[in-house]
Structure 1
Amino acid sequence: MKTLLPSTFLQRVLLADALTSILVAALQLALTRSLANLLGLSQELLFETGAFLAGYALLLAWLARGKPVPALLLWILVIGNVGWALGCALVAAMEGPNVLGLAYLAVQALTVLVFAGLELAGIRSSVQAGGGHTPTAALR
């Protein structure tokens, strides 16, 4: 299994993603009922995604510590962020949130797409553990 030593850029992106995720998690977990009423989204959705984001933030913080990590795990993060954006679109279509709810979902979708792009750039700027700066090898 290929491992990467995250570049400083990737570490910072992972930490920014972790901070964003924990803030959204805290908001959704602390204000589940109020947000559900304000956004027109279900309490279950907000609570469960908030709980997921709390764990996700811990994973991101762990990955950002500067130790070699499996390249596959970093790719899963990129794909997962794109999947989260698609999930936001699906929730918008299926749950029928109000205008504020649509804006909330759109901001989340845009944010995770930006993080996906930044994490991809970070993967490319990282080095393969035990080797030199070979970003193209990390992409295979």
Structure 2
Amino acid sequence: MTTVTSKATANTDAANAATNAITGLNPRTIFLFDALTCLAMGILLVAAAGVLSGLLGLPKNFIFMAGLALFPCAALMWFTSRAGTQEHPPAALSWLVIIGNVGWVIASILAIEVWFDATVLGMIFVAAQALVVVTLAVLEYRGLRK
């Protein structure tokens, strides 16, 4: 009986450690990661708008402008990761980033479902990046609640 209890406790401890590793990230780290991924996506979209347009079935100008829009977003996210107290960025900036991320996800869904006739690859690409963005928004929200 003791062995079963020990294994159950070890499994629970491992699960708790994994959860803390994911949700226990410092909010500043999450905002910084968001800024870096935003910058990388912006560079990709601006630099390869023509190629991506053909592959994704989305207009070149739409892809290019979306990429350009990501640069000031990345700057805001980076600033948010550096502002405020040692533990937490300012709540107002945090909410601005979170709401912006939710808006990006909504626009992504509209882009592939309403505005344009994306290819299958385009739908996968847009849905995948939207999934990353909504995950970051959730992690940022959880960090704000701590």
Fold equivalence (TM over 0.5): yes
Larger Rg: 2
More strand by share: 1
More helix by share: 2
**What is the identity, as a one-letter code, of the residue corresponding to 2:145?**
R
> In 2, distance between residues paired with 1:59 and 1:79?
13
Larger RCO: Structure 1 or Structure 2 (Cα < 8 Å, ≥ 6 residues apart)? 1
TM-score, length-scaled by structure 2: 0.76
User: Percent of counterpart pairs with the same letter?
Assistant: 35
> In 2, distance between residues paired with 1:66 and 1:80?
18
Q: Which structure 2 segments of 5+ residues have no match?
A: 1-23
> In 2, distance between residues paired with 1:43 and 1:64?
32
Residue pair 2:76, 2:97 contacting (<8 A) in 1 also: no
**What is the identity, as a one-letter code, of the residue corresponding to 2:141?**
L
What RMSD over aligned residues (CA atoms) do the two structures have, in Å? 1.7
Residue pair 2:45, 2:67 contacting (<8 A) in 1 also: yes
**Deviation, structure 1 residue 8:** 6.9
Residue number in structure 1 paired with 2:134: 113
Determine if the alignment matches structure 1 residue 35 to structure 2 residue 55: no
Task: Name the count of aligned residue pairs.
Answer: 119
Q: Which of 73, 78, 82 is residue 56 of structure 1 equivalent to?
A: 73
> In 1, distance between residues paired with 2:67 and 2:126?
13
**Deviation, structure 1 residue 45:** 1.0
Q: Which structure 1 segments of 5+ residues have no match?
A: 1-6, 126-140
SS in 2 for 1:60: helix
> In 2, distance between residues paired with 1:76 and 1:59?
9
